[in-house]
Structure 1
Amino acid sequence: MNIRRTGRLAALAAAMTLNLAGPVQADSGILAVNAAIAPEVPASLLSVPHAAPTLDLEPIAGGMASYYGRHLKGARTASGQRFDPDALTCAHRTLPFGTQLQVTNPVNGETVVVTVNDRGPFHGNRVIDLSDAAAEEIGILARGSGKVELAILND
């Protein structure tokens, strides 16, 4: 996934690039940098958990994915929303609208989380249609389609 350095990430990156020759503490799996080393960075950003939060995933059948063309921008989806090629959305035949799916490209390991807001695909052996942005995130935009693994994100 692409990580954009904005907001909190930018401040954290700034703190990490400073001279860290001063005191650094490690306790309970959290790395803490002394505020005297990075006084311009808010104290709330100086403690970074060492592990990403785990997601509650329920794997479901994957298969071939394709993506919507940009020419459909603004068209109504089955949920009533207008199609936005830059949003992280998808079409699935049976999952309820609003379901969030983690879509993984097993070839490169890239993942994206999308929200079901349309029905389909209704052609070939495809299991999901992704928005342009979602297809780009996992690296299938140039090929037009690709094998994916799917998992439902549970609350």
Structure 2
Amino acid sequence: MDKQRKKNPPPSSSYSFATSNQSIRRLACLLPFRTSHPKELSAIHLFFMSHKFCCMTMRINIDCNGCYQKIRRTLLQMQELESHLIERKQCMVSVCGVFVPQDIAIRLRKKTNRRVEILEIKEVDISNDGSITPKPP
């Protein structure tokens, strides 16, 4: 039994999310697929390239209090969202966070069974000192 412990040390639970090759190899076991060639883009590279801090505005019909509660509950379940704002009168929903905008709209459509229309997507740069500046178009 001691020999097995020496051969297979327990996996470390801390993973760094830097984009170095070593951390990519560590995270590769967590993803559903890997590339066979090291120069191809792996799923981890795609993950880091596609997720940016965004603010998105959508139009969703909010007819009653039940619709409002369903939308609110769905947004609260999405962990990648940092903040959201629901405006009942204008039928507008604004969300901010690190996410792929189309994925959020699709999930909101599936869970609430309401038509979702993306009005505006803004990518935001966050500097080290905490200041937020919108990217120019």
Per the normalisation by structure 2, the TM-score is 0.25
Higher helix content, 1 or 2 = 2
Kindly indicate whether structure 1 or structure 2 has the higher relative contact order, using CA contacts under 8 Å at least 6 residues apart.
1
Per the normalisation by structure 1, the TM-score is 0.24
